[in-house]
Amino acid sequence: MGFVIDGKIVALHPVEVTSADYALQEYALTPAEMAKAERRISADIRKARKAGRMTKFTGGADDFR
């Protein structure tokens, strides 16, 4: 299966996606750098929630207000 873009046929085919190490591959981080980033991001999220700047997304319509 495929489609045409600018006169070229682009093929569609299944690809394997592994989420376990996506950030390590995508951003070229070492495992230690990834662990540090996770801790920093988690701390930032906790602070933002505590300050009322961020709420949990529940999937409800009220989440967008």
Interior CA angle at 35 toward 31 and 37, to 5°?
Answer: 115
Q: Residues near 34 by Cβ (< 8 Å), separated by ≥ 6?
A: 23, 24
Query: pTM of the entire structure?
Result: 0.54
> For residues 32 and 2, which has the higher predicted lDDT (pLDDT)?
32
User: Kind and range of the H or E element at 27?
Assistant: none
Note the pLDDT of residue 45.
92
Taking all residues of the chain, what is their mean pLDDT, rounded to a whole number? 86
Distance (Å, whole) CA 35 – CA 37: 5
